[in-house]
Amino acid sequence: MGNWKNFILDLDGVLYLLNQPIPGGREFVDFLRTHRYGVAFLSNNTFLTREEYVEKLGKMGIKAFPEEILTSAFAVAKYLGETRPGARVYVIGEDGLKKELKNCGLRPVLRGKADFVVVGMDRKFNFRKMSQALRYIQDGAEFIGTNPDPTYPTDNGLLPGAGAIIAGIETCSGKKARVFGKPSPLILDLLLEARGFRKEETVIVGDRLDTDIALGACCGVFSVLVLTGVTSRQDVEISQVKPDLVVENLFELRRVLAGE
Ligand SMILES: [Mg+2]
């Protein structure tokens, strides 16, 4: 533990469930700041912009800064903005994704030519959008996905996630999307570089084995699974993907760090 200098925290299932703060989250982030750990927040979710996440966390008493937050929407926008400034993008997604793309200088298009088709979670996804994406991809647009999550948790159970929409377009186009969100190393590399974190000094904390923990495992970053989200101890036992440490909640992780 002596080497740990930075913490990458997942949001949903770690600091809150939808809009409900998870006990221990605020205290844990305070502890990290007091002891001068590097902090970053990493979410596959694309509904909100980084500024809106700062606001959401702030309402829960958790202090965060936009530059500490990386979503899969911002990762895609930053990458495209830097490698293909001003590119035309056909977007299937919601406001958070569209705003981040615009903020990074990309030009969303509805007709005409597109250089990229960017696909994320879209609760108004339909056959017309799917057909349009297919047309653009056939015409040579590069196919980018925000995140591979098959589902998205809500108060009323699961909804289909971005991964399901991406898979539909992969099926009709016969092309694989380049997907940025966890567990893709693309998003971790962007984060480490942006925050100046070194892998061997960094810990990733999350509630999902297939995204957070898989990312840590594939990139050689120490991973901590918290049981406050979608994963139970039984899930861990039968999973191929194993976290380096399992804790009940962030109170427990804070005690581990404090050496109590
Ligand atoms: Mg989560």
**Quick one: pLDDT band at residue 44, thresholds 50, 70, 90?**
very high
Is 207 among the residues known to form the active site? no
Residue with tokens 């840590």: 216
Task: Return the pLDDT at 2.
Answer: 64
How far does the centroid of ligand 1 lie from the alpha carbon of residue 84, in Å?
A: 30
Query: Hey, what amino acid is at 139?
Result: D
pLDDT in tens, 237-255: 999 999 999 999 999 999 9
- Give the Å distance between the CA of 236 and the centre of ligand 1: 15
Specify the pLDDT at position 3: 86
Amino acid identity for residue 135 in this structure:
R
Q: Which of 119, 109, 181 is closest to 149 using CA atoms?
A: 181
| 6-44+182-258 and 83-179: identical CATH topology | yes
Separation between Cα atoms, residue 35 and residue 66, nearest integer Å: 21
What's the pLDDT score for residue 33?
97
Reduce the DSSP state of residue 28 to 3 states and report it. helix
Q: pLDDT digits over 192-220, tens only?
A: 999 999 999 999 999 999 999 999 999 99
Percent of residues, the chain, with pLDDT higher than 70 = 99
10 is catalytic: yes
User: What is the whole-number distance in angstroms between the Cα of residue 62 and the centre of ligand 1?
Assistant: 17
d(CA 117, CA 110): 11
Confidence of residue 225 (pLDDT cuts 50, 70, 90): very high
CATH second-level architecture of 6-44+182-258? 3-Layer(aba) Sandwich (3.40)
Cα 140 to ligand 1 centre (Å)? 34
Q: Ligand 1 center to residue 225 CA distance, Å?
A: 10
CA distances from 216 to 15, 134, 183 (A): 19, 33, 8
Nearest to 173 by CA among 123, 121, 117, 125: 117
Q: How far apart are CA 98 and CA 225, in angstroms?
A: 31
Average pLDDT over residues 169-181: 98
* Number of alpha helices (DSSP H) and beta strands (DSSP E) in the chain: 10, 15
**Among 3.40.50.700, 3.30.930.10, 3.40.50.1000, 3.40.50.11540, what is the CATH number of 83-179?**
3.40.50.1000
